[in-house]
Amino acid sequence: MIVDCAHYRHGQRQSAAPLSLEEAAAICARDEEGFVWLGLFDPAPGELASVQACFGLHELAVEDAESHHLRPKIEQYADGTYFVVLRTARYLDDREEVDFGEISLFLRRTFAITVRQGGASELGEARLRLEQRPELLREGSASVLWAVLDQVVDSYAPVVEGLERDIEEVEGTVFSAAAAPTERIYFLRREATDFYRAVHPLLAPLDAVDRGSYPVVSTQLREYFRDVNDHLNIVNDEVAAQRDTLVTVLQANMAVLSVQQNEIVRKISAWAAMIAVPTFIASLYGMNFDHMPELGWRIGYPAVLTLMLLVGLGLYTFFRRARWL
């Protein structure tokens, strides 16, 4: 589905109404100073094929755009087209989990085409912010890449905060000597790992932009990309720390579970010992011997019962002092 398609020239949007694919392609063919920004959301294969035909997109890049869960990257093709893959993320408070999406971006001097997949890839705010910065729009289609990257990286911060709250909650449970649900810790670990895979691969491409490896990005824009790179490095460090913390929490939780299991085993062993001694005495006197002195003793039966009770009481006192009970 086409969300918006606009022509920008000299830092200004040329028409409030969205353009059709044919109009956008015609403008790209004749306008050497401006560019077109086409935004798509969850396009059908036929729709993406139409865009490919109108703008001459490379088939391998289109194939990647139709795929999901790709590694974030920036690729350059021989015809001057850049293909960018970004992983988006948002924290869902009601479900306490991270929702991931994907953005593919085709970039050439005369156009920028964004393909969004998933609800976590909203770009309306990025377009609005860029339209309010005509000095950046004048830098060409690379300004779209900056706007999208800036939006995506800024959206990572609430995810870091949401994961941090969940980790602190689990930490508080584990280090209060109460076992946290192991499944919850594994789930957080998986989310942190998925988030790390969305963040970390972007570091190398942004470093390359800062070094001037992509001519499409002007010197003025590099300063803004450098700012995005700084924010991304902060997020990357925090996510890496969260992954390490979750490993420690998982180990601590296993230790707490082990201690609790040992306590249960000790209690079972103590009760088994208290039951075993009276059982042994009772079984001894249950044997069919002809000559047992206690059989002719009037207080023999009460004496044996008293002995069994005293032994049980003594063992109970011993295990209580040993903190087994």
Residue 69, pLDDT above cutoff 70 = yes
Position 55 pLDDT exceeds 70:
yes
CATH number of 2-256: 3.30.460.20
Residue 17: phi and psi, rounded to 5, are -80, 140
C-alpha span between 323 and 221 (Å, rounded):
69
What residue ranges do the domains of the chain occupy?
2-256, 257-321
pTM flag (> 0.75): yes
Confidence (pLDDT) at 254: 75
- Residue of 286, 264, 272, 281 whose CA lies nearest to 315: 272
**Three-class SS state of 66:** helix
Mean pLDDT, residues 16-44: 89
Strands (E) in 17-143, as ranges, are: 35-41, 73-76, 82-92, 97-108, 111-117
pLDDT digits (tens, 9 = 90+) for 231-256: 999 999 999 999 999 888 888 877 77
**Thinking of the domain 257-321, which architecture would CATH place it in?**
Up-down Bundle (1.20)
pLDDT value for 297: 67
Question: Which string of DSSP letters, residue by residue, matches 140-187?
Answer: -THHHHHHHHHHHHHHHHHHHHHHHHHHHHHHHHHTTT-PPPHHHHHH
The pLDDT score that the predictor gives to residue 237 is 96
CA distance 19 to 24: 6
Among 54, 55, 35, 51, residue whose Cα is nearest residue 43: 51
